[in-house]
Amino acid sequence: MLVSEQEKEKIYSPGLEGIPAARTKLSQVDGKGGRLIIAGYPVEEFAGKAVFEETIFTLWNDKRPKPTETSLFSEELRSSRRFSKVIRTIIEEAVYANLPLIDILRIGSAALSLGSQKEDPKKDAMAVLSTFPLIVAWAFRLLKGQAPVLPRQDLDIAANFLYMLNGNDPDPRSVRALNTYLNTVCDHGLNASTFAARVIISTQSDMISAVTGGLGALKGPLHGGAPGPALDTVFEIGAKENAEKVLREKLKHNERLMGFGHRIYKVRDPRADVLAKAAKILYDTDEKREFYDLAMFVEKTALELLKEYKPDRVLQTNVEFYTALLLHGLGFPTEIFTPVFAMGRAAGWTAHCFEQMQERILRPDAIYTGEDGKLWN
């Protein structure tokens, strides 16, 4: 359908906000109601119960797996790992170049084309989900000057990642917390990285290219880079008696309080409550509980001050705040936050790619604002 420039101006929306570009069964983001539905399930219904493999299966197949299907699917994922010496060498070269971990993951993602069977996108998707955690853990230990740890065939995604990261058998509570996190962030509507992946796959490109493009979008600070700063504020405050003074100073200077407010959610982010419950069990010692209590006090103080300074806006705790708290409770430093986010969101990227492969190429219009009739001479 041909549309005039005048008609385009009437429907133009910066950032395509509010303009549907896809039909999906994968997730619904209800900003007004504060609800997130993943493949038909409210996020709070399954995130704290399922293992990540079950969530991937559900996104890909639009149904919850039976126990036998979970077992077979988990085994298929483990056998799909692409972690040859060549790929490890590529990762190591990126480490020696002192690149950020998210860039190393992007390079490692592209390297998964080695051994790719482009005629079978499902195998590439399985390689992505099973190998991303290996790349992150391997590179992280090298960046820290530690000997990397080879993956185990008897461990599922979350447990194996913790094993490779720390070099010892993972604590079941930590495995449960990481599974909950990966489930919670697996998909979230047509966000920037998911849209990027769908655009690429819509051209009949391959799964590895689409996922790598998604990673490129995710590394931007407006999308995947916010959880670290949310925790930095708690560290900066340091003690409960400093909370109000530090936060007031930030608000007086019109600084954004990271971890509060969301572009879509006009009430509390439903993912925040899921991760709050998962995080709490990780802070079981006196030392850890002291930090947890401080974070809770900072949250309470921030919400009170936001009502005072910005009474016309609804600014609630979002997923970034409790992401930071949970990942810190797992012992993760902030530089690993975004790569771990990518490990979870890759489930959504691949599922959206499978959907988009049944649709036409994504090719929105643009409004021309330049001149006309210029002469070259």
Active site residue 262: yes
The string of DSSP letters for 172-185 reads: HHHHHHHHHHHHHT
Is 320 catalytic? The answer is yes
> Which entry of 188, 262, 328, 352 is annotated as an active-site residue?
262
Of 73, 164, 88, the closest CA to residue 126 belongs to: 73
Closest CA to 299 of 332, 265, 275, 333: 275
Of the candidates 27, 30, 28, 36, which has an alpha carbon nearest to the alpha carbon of residue 274? 36
Tens digits of per-residue pLDDT, 27-68? 999 888 889 999 999 999 999 999 999 999 999 999 999 999
Of 337, 308, 321, 305, nearest in space to 265 by CA? 321
Structure tokens at 66: 């039976």
Q: How far apart are CA 85 and CA 212, in angstroms?
A: 21
| Residue 347 exposure: Cα atoms within 13 Å on the Cβ side | 32
Strand partners, 30: 35
Residue pLDDT, tens place only, 117-129:
778 999 999 999 9
Category of 71 on φ-ψ map: left (φ > 0), alpha (ψ -120 to 50) or beta:
alpha
pTM score: 0.92
From the candidates 53, 299, 320, 328, give the one annotated as an active-site residue: 320
Nearest to 260 by CA among 301, 312, 217, 292: 301
List the domains of the chain with CATH numbers.
38-221+340-357 (1.10.580.10), 228-330 (1.10.230.10)
Q: What's residue 31's pLDDT?
A: 80
Strand, helix or coil at 364? coil
Q: Tens digit of pLDDT per residue, the chain (377 long)?
A: 566 777 777 788 888 888 888 999 999 998 888 899 999 999 999 999 999 999 999 999 999 999 999 999 999 999 999 999 999 999 999 999 999 999 999 999 999 999 877 789 999 999 999 999 999 999 999 999 999 999 999 999 999 999 999 999 999 999 999 999 999 999 999 999 999 999 999 999 999 999 999 999 999 887 776 567 778 889 999 999 999 999 999 999 988 888 787 667 666 788 888 999 999 999 988 888 999 999 999 999 999 999 999 888 878 888 888 888 999 999 999 899 999 999 999 999 999 999 999 999 999 888 888 999 999 98
